[in-house]
Structure 1
Amino acid sequence: MGMNFSRKLPIPKEIKEQFPIDQKIVSVKEKKDKELRDIFTGASDKFVLIIGPCSADNEDSVIDYVTRLAKIQEQVKDK
């Protein structure tokens, strides 16, 4: 005789209620979404580079990588 356990997955609304996002982060996300939309629709002459680690199994390494990448992004954001 086996036992099965099931758990209801939360819907997006429940996740948003459980983990509210600061308005500053929402604004940054909206700005980045618009920048990407403009690139993909041809409204911007910028281009997208997708750069990242092949895996994210070591949290410290990922945070170090993202921190360094953010500094470079800031340097080239208008180029």
Structure 2
Amino acid sequence: DERRLGEQAVFPETVDVNIRQLDPIPAPRAFLREQPLTDEMSELVLHSRQEIRDVLNGRDDRLLVIVGPCSIHDPKAAHEYAEKLAAVKRELEDRLVIVMRVYFEKPRTPIAW
């Protein structure tokens, strides 16, 4: 038994054989309803973006430092990392603009971490 996907034959016995479960991802609107952005969060984003622009455009002499874990797969560990980084950011804010970069997946990693 074969199905067609465009010009390619798709054989059911080879499709998704390593997939145990599929969980739907909520649409952005639904997610924003469930996890609304607070005024404080919004202000942090706007302030951080302005700091980055100022460094990149030479209006701020501090060094821009973008750091973060390879990927986020443990929310608790990510939160702990963010708290520690926030403390360092406060300590060095006169010399550095520290930004935590976050990736939720590792694009070149096979199936599992």
Question: What TM-score do the two structures reach when normalised by structure 1?
Answer: 0.73
- Provide the aligned C-alpha RMSD in A: 2.4
Paired residue secondary structure (2:55): helix
Give the structure with the larger helix fraction: 1
Partner of 1:10: 27
**Number of residue-to-residue matches in the alignment:** 72
Partner of 1:52: 68
Gaps of 5+ in 2: 4-23, 96-113
Moved over 6 A (4+): none
Query: Hey, what's the Cα distance between the residues in 2 that align with 1:58 and 1:17?
Result: 22
Write the letter of the residue equivalent to 1:10.
A
Gaps of 5+ in 1: none
Query: Hey, what's the Cα distance between the residues in 2 that align with 1:64 and 1:24?
Result: 20
Q: Deviations over 1:12-31 (max 9, x none)?
A: xx257513211111111111
Q: Which has the larger radius of gyration?
A: 2
Write the letter of the residue equivalent to 1:65.
Y
Kindly indicate whether structure 1 or structure 2 has the higher relative contact order, using CA contacts under 8 Å at least 6 residues apart.
2
Give the structure with the larger strand fraction: 2
